[in-house]
Chain A
Amino acid sequence: MELYCTLPKSVKDPSDQHKKKKKGNETINDFLTEFLPNKRIKTGENSLKDKVLMLDSVRQKWEKPLKTKCRNSLSAKDRRRFKVFDIEQGEHRFNDYIPLHKMWQEYMMASLDIKRYNLPNPGPKKENNERLLKADYHGCMITVRKTKCPSLLGQSGIVLMETKNTFKIVTKDNKLKILPKMNSLFSFTIKEFVFTIHGSQFCSKSSMRVRKKFKFKGSADL
C-alpha cells in the first residue's frame, strides 16, 4: 500500500460532476441515488419529499438531576461503603467503656449542676429539662423501664451510639444490643437521682436535638 501519493484527479478537476453547483435538494437526491442500494431506492428513500429531520432542539434522554454534593457529611451510600458507623458484634467489652461512663457522668453533673439539687432552693426546672434534651448521651448507663415489647424490658448497658430511632448499647455480658426508642421508657441514674427518658418523644438524631425545638407528640403514654 502506498502511504504517500498524489490526490486523485477527480478532486482537482473543476469540471467534475460532484463539484458543479446545484440547487439545494438536488445534490442530496443525486447523492442518495448514487450510493443507496437498489432496494431502498425502490421504496422511495432517495426522494426527500415528505421527510423532515429535526437537527436541532432534539429531545434529549432524561438524566437524573445531579444532587448538590453535601460537603459537610457523607452520603448514605458512602457511609455504607466505608462502614464508618457500624459497630461490630463481639468486639466490645463492657469494662473498656466504664471510663467513658465516668467521664459522661462528670459531664452530666456539670451540665445539670447537680450540686444545687440538694439545696433548699433548687432553682427553675425548665432549664433543667432543656439541658437534658440537648445533652449528649454517649456513655450513659441506660435501662429500659417500661415498654410495649416485653422482651426489651430490663435491658441495660452503656450507650455506644445514638441514631435517630435507636440506642446501641453494650451490656454487662459484652453483648451489643440495639434498643428501639419508640414505645419505651428509659431511665438512668446520676448519684442518687433517677432521670427518665420517654423514648417515643425522643426519636431524633442527637445532632438535631441540639438545634431544633422540641415538639411534644401526642400523649406521654406509650
Chain B
Amino acid sequence: MKRVVPTGKLIFERTSFLNENEKHLQCILTHSFNSSIGVFLPEHDCVPRILGDMMDDQMSYYVEQVPLNLLTETDFIKGFVQAGSLCMISYGTCIDSDDCVAVTPEGMLVMSLCKDTYQRCGLDGHLSKAGKNIEKFVVKVDLKSDKFYPGTKYYDRVQWCLSQMANFDFLVTWIPNDGKVCPSSIQNFFKTKSIQCNRLKVNKTNHEFKNFNIPIIDPAVIETDSEQKSCNYDEVFEWLGACAVGIDDYEGDDYLSTYSCPTPNKQASYCIYTQYEGIIHPSIVKQYINYLRQFMKDKKLPWSSVTVHGFVDSPLSWIYDHGFHNNGDNIYTFLMFPNDEYWLYRAIGGQDICP
C-alpha cells in the first residue's frame, strides 16, 4: 500500500485553565513567531477597546539588510537579547527554497539553510527533521550562552562565518524586561548602525455578522451522539474558519455550495470577527487571552475563540523544525468557555512533527 502523506494534521485537546497539568502557557509562549491573531465573539457587536489598544501599542519593526554578525555583537546581545525578549524573523524568504533566519525569545539564533549555503557557511548543523527528503540544514547558535563572548574560539568562528553570509530583512519585536526602557530603543540601535528600520503597521480586518446562526457547543461533549445536543469539534473548527474568511451567507444556491452551519444551532443578533496582522510577541498573546477570558465571563458570552497564526515561512513551529511542502500552517485556536474550560486545536503541516 502506498504511503500517503496527509496534507495537514489537527491536534485536539480538551481541558481546563484551572487544571494543574495544563499546558496552555507552554503552547502560547513556545510559539514564538505569530503573524496574526483573530478573535471571534458571538452575541457581541464589538471587540473591547483595550484589546485594540494592546495591538496598536505594540512596537514592531521592519528592518532591511541586516548583516548577521551584527546579531552576535556584544552590545546587541547585552542590550537586547539578554535585557528583554526579542523576536526576529527573516522576511521575504521562503522556508522550502531559501535561507531563513530567526531569533527566538530564548536567545537562540536559528538558521535554516540550503545545502549550498550550509556548505559555504562553516558552522555545525544538522539536517532538518521537517519531513523526509528535505535538503535543508538547521544551524543553531545560543546567544545567551555563558560561553559565547569575544575572545573564545567559538565566538570568533561564528563571527567570521556569519560575516561571509548575505544580509537579511527582518521583522522585529522586542519587549524589555525593565519597564522603564522604551521598546523603540531597538529602532535607535539600528539607526545608529545606519540600517533602515521602520515601524510596522498592524493590519486590522473586521467581519461583522448580523442575525447569524452560531452552533451550540457543550464543553463536555466533543462528538455528537444520536441526540445531537451539541456540535462536533471538527465541524466547529471548520465553521470558525469559514467565519474568519467572512462567509456569512449560507442560503445561497445549492449548486454552488451545500455548506451550512453545523447543527444544532441558534440565532445570534450580532457576532464579530477581528483579525490583527503583523508580528505579535507571545507574551502579548498571553495577555490578550487572559483579558478575553475575563471579558467573556463579564459579558456572559456562551463561548469565544482566539486563533493565532504562525508565519508560514518560519524555521520553527513550536520547538520543532518546520517546512512548507504544500501546507505551512502552524496555527492554534483556543475555544474558551465561561467555566474556564477550553478546547485547543493545533493545526500543523502534513510532514511537521506533532508538538
Contacts and interface: CB of A to CB of B under 8 A. Distances in A.
A152 B116 CA distance: 15
A150 B125 CA distance: 9
Contacts, number: 23
Q: Which 3 A-B pairs have the closest CB atoms?
A: A153-B122, A146-B119, A150-B122
A151 B161 CA distance: 11
A222 B160 contact: no
Interface in A143-157: 145-148, 150-151, 153-154
A151 B124 CA distance: 8
Given A147-B119, A151-B122, 9 more contacts: A145-B120, A146-B116, A150-B121, A150-B123, A150-B124, A153-B121, A153-B122, A153-B161, A154-B161
Interface string B142-180: 000000000000000000110000000000000000000
Interface of A: 145-148, 150-151, 153-154, 222
Interface string B115-143: 01011111111000000000000000000
A23 B122 CA distance: 93
A145 B117 CA distance: 11
Interface of B is mostly: helix
Interface of A is mostly: mixed
A222 B114 CA distance: 13
Contact of A146 (B120, B124, B160): B120
Nearest to B123: A150
Contacts of A146: 116, 119-120
A154 B116 CA distance: 15
B10 to A, nearest CB: 38
A7 to B, nearest CB: 94
Contacts of A148: 119
Nearest to A154: B122
Contacts of A147: 119
13 contacts: A145-B120, A146-B119, A146-B120, A147-B119, A150-B118, A150-B123, A150-B125, A151-B122, A153-B119, A153-B120, A153-B122, A154-B160, A154-B161
Nearest to B157: A154
A146 B116 CA distance: 8
A221 to B, nearest CB: 8
A182 to B, nearest CB: 13
Contacts of A222: 119
A154 B123 CA distance: 11
A40 to B, nearest CB: 78
Nearest to B120: A146
A153 B160 CA distance: 11
A222 B135 CA distance: 13
A179 to B, nearest CB: 14
A107 B142 CA distance: 47
Q: Of residues A145, A148, A151, A153, which shows the largest number of chain B Cβ atoms within 10 Å of its Cβ?
A: A153
Interface in B260-276: none
Contacts of B125: 150
A222 B116 CA distance: 9
A150 B120 CA distance: 8
B192 to A, nearest CB: 30
A145 B122 CA distance: 9
Q: Of residues B118, B122, B123, B160, which shows the largest number of chain A Cβ atoms within 10 Å of its Cβ?
A: B122
Nearest to A144: B122
